[in-house]
Structure 1
Amino acid sequence: MSSQRLSQPAAILRHATLLVTGALMLVPFAWMVSLSIKPPGEIFKENFSFLPEQWYLFENYTRALTAVPLPRYMMNGVIVCAAILVLQILVCAPCAYALAKLRFPGRNLLFGLVLVGLLLPHQVLSLPLFIIGYKLGILNTYAALVFPYVVSPFGIFLFRQFFKTIPHDVVHAARLDGLSELAIVWRIMVPMALPAVMAFGIFSVVSHWNELFWPLVAVRSEHLMPPPLGIMAFRNEESGNDYGPLMAASTLVIAPLVIAFLCAQRWFVQGLTTGAIK
């Protein structure tokens, strides 16, 4: 009974902390949605209110969709994120399988290099990546937006941790059935690691959908711009930012990510916790 009495206040404190933290994280998003439905005169009022006195929703969202080719930018984001995710899974799954289930000289050293890759910010590699892209002649193309992210240290690490939870007997049985190592990866390991694939997919899509730095370096053509780079068109050095349409465009860009995460959150949590338990 005493342990239950002690655990109840602790549980209340934990939940209160989570609720306060979650509310603080949602404040910028709520403010963004609020500004997206307000006219310019109410955005800079001294007294803030979430709901506007005069609704400007239709005007702001119409301008967000027509002032710049926002649907084109979002389609570019879909193309780039889908290509990156597919290529990352094709590369990371075999690498993770080799590190988790195969024994060969230098395996621990390679895994150490993967961990080092996790520590390096992507911006550190921007200059050599730009030079490589220039030498290959792929700058200002979709390939320039995709190729720097094909190898993902985080993807290799996450898949390796999940593959290590799969019993070795499963791999041995597959080998006895005559499956090759690649067939084991794609027919046995990846289907069993579907939660990890879903979790990594969410991480990958969110990261590259919101990427601004590298597209700012790699592309110049407007028809290739991803969403974060495209909505910068609402910035104007002479007249200032058009905050209403800018916030409306930002809301439209973020909405697909929120919907996708809400639909896949069960897979996301399972994919992260399974590898952590191991």
Structure 2
Amino acid sequence: MTMGLVPNGAEAGGQSRQWLRHAALSAGAIIIVAPFVWAMAISIRPPEEIFTRGLQLLPHSLAIARNYGKALTQMPLLHFLANGLFVCAAILIGQLVVLLPCSYALAKLDFAGRKALFALVVVGLMVPATALSLPLFLLVSAAGLIDSYAGLVLPWTISCLGIFLLRQVFAKVPDEIVEAARLDGLGEIEILIRIMLPMALPAVGAFSIFSFVRHWNDLLWPSVVVRSLDKATPPYGVMLFQSEEAGSDYGALMAGTVIIALPMIIAFVAAHKRFIDGVSLGGARR
């Protein structure tokens, strides 16, 4: 009888832990999603209902056409979105051009200083991007790239995170596969493109989402190097709209914020499975 009670107790304990995990995850999800839900709620409110006592998610009257129409007409929001798409795509392409051969070399080539270079990559992961803003600004200014797309793109074409992630993926590919490809007459670039890259596509997809979200939401660097609305990215453009045009029209500001956030949300929802697979693929070491 006693032995028959043990599985029931273990099962009950497992269910309790599962409920606790679900509760913790649900609480975390609510904390993360709540600001965006509240921004959406403000974006459909008329001005007189934004600053009211109490927490009312749904407004008494809707001002969707007014707020979103103002966001789209009183500032060049579509131009900001086009700038953000171009800058993020250019940064990602530059990062992939750099990190793919670097990751392959660190994982599969034997050369002097390989371990030291990989240690520098790991150290680079620990340096916050904000700490690099001043030296990068001085370099960009000396190169005459202030208020240019090149100034927005070039400083971020080297990603320590991408090199580390892809290096971990390439390191798990058996050396026998690479040696067999070399015996077949393939060069290192051909091995990288034809053999290694297809195996690493989930990790490349995950890194692409990381990169796009990071630079799409970046406000600090554009505010440092951009001097005109013509080169403004979405967050910086909305900030200029707030300070120069909108005044206290928070409904239109939140509408603009929702519009610039939606592309990244849609992209993540569409590619979330590949994102999870890519992070899992690069997480374990060989």
TM-score (norm 2): 0.94
Structure 2: how far apart are the matches of 1:140 and 1:188?
A: 40
Match of 1:195 in 2: 202
8 Å CA contact 2:246–2:253 kept in 1: the answer is no
Match of 2:11 in 1: 4
1:185-235 CA distances to partner (integer Å, 9 max, x unpaired)? 122111110000000000000000001111111111211100000001332
Change (3 A) 1:239 1:270: closer
8 Å CA contact 1:234–1:242 kept in 2: the answer is no
Q: How far off is 1:103 after superposition?
A: 1.4
Structure 2: how far apart are the matches of 1:170 and 1:11?
A: 41
Structure 1: how far apart are the matches of 2:49 and 2:156?
A: 42
With 74-83 and 181-190 compared, the bigger mean Cα shift is at 181-190
8 Å CA contact 1:68–1:233 kept in 2: the answer is no
2:75 maps to 1:80: no
DSSP 3-state at the match of 1:262: helix
What amino acid maps onto 1:166 in structure 2? V
DSSP 3-state at the match of 1:49: coil
Which residue among 61, 64, 67 is the counterpart of 2:74? 67
1:65-111 CA distances to partner (integer Å, 9 max, x unpaired)? 01100000000000000000011011001101111111111111111
Match of 1:38 in 2: 45
DSSP 3-state at the match of 2:45: coil
Structure 2: how far apart are the matches of 1:238 and 1:74?
A: 18
What amino acid maps onto 1:175 in structure 2? R
8 Å CA contact 2:168–2:284 kept in 1: the answer is no
Which residue among 3, 22, 26 is the counterpart of 1:15? 22
Change (3 A) 1:185 1:81: same
What amino acid maps onto 2:232 in structure 1? M
8 Å CA contact 1:36–1:245 kept in 2: the answer is yes
Structure 1: how far apart are the matches of 2:135 and 2:246?
A: 37
Change (3 A) 1:162 1:206: same
2:271 maps to 1:264: yes
Matches within 5 A, 1:156-235: 156-235=163-242
Which residue among 221, 236, 248 is the counterpart of 1:241? 248
Identical-residue share of aligned pairs (%): 48
Q: How far off is 1:277 after superposition?
A: 2.9
Change (3 A) 1:219 1:234: closer
CA-based RMSD of the aligned residues comes to 1.4
Structure 2: how far apart are the matches of 1:85 and 1:135?
A: 24
Which residue among 121, 124, 141 is the counterpart of 2:128? 121
Q: How far off is 1:128 after superposition?
A: 1.9
DSSP 3-state at the match of 2:27: helix
* 5+ residue gaps, structure 1: none
TM-score (norm 1): 0.97
What amino acid maps onto 2:34 in structure 1? V
What amino acid maps onto 1:39 in structure 2? P
Matches within 5 A, 1:124-135: 124-135=131-142
Structure 2: how far apart are the matches of 1:166 and 1:258?
A: 32
Q: How far off is 1:61 after superposition?
A: 0.2
Q: How far off is 1:41 after superposition?
A: 0.5
Structure 2: how far apart are the matches of 1:191 and 1:238?
A: 48
Rg (Cα) greater in structure? 2
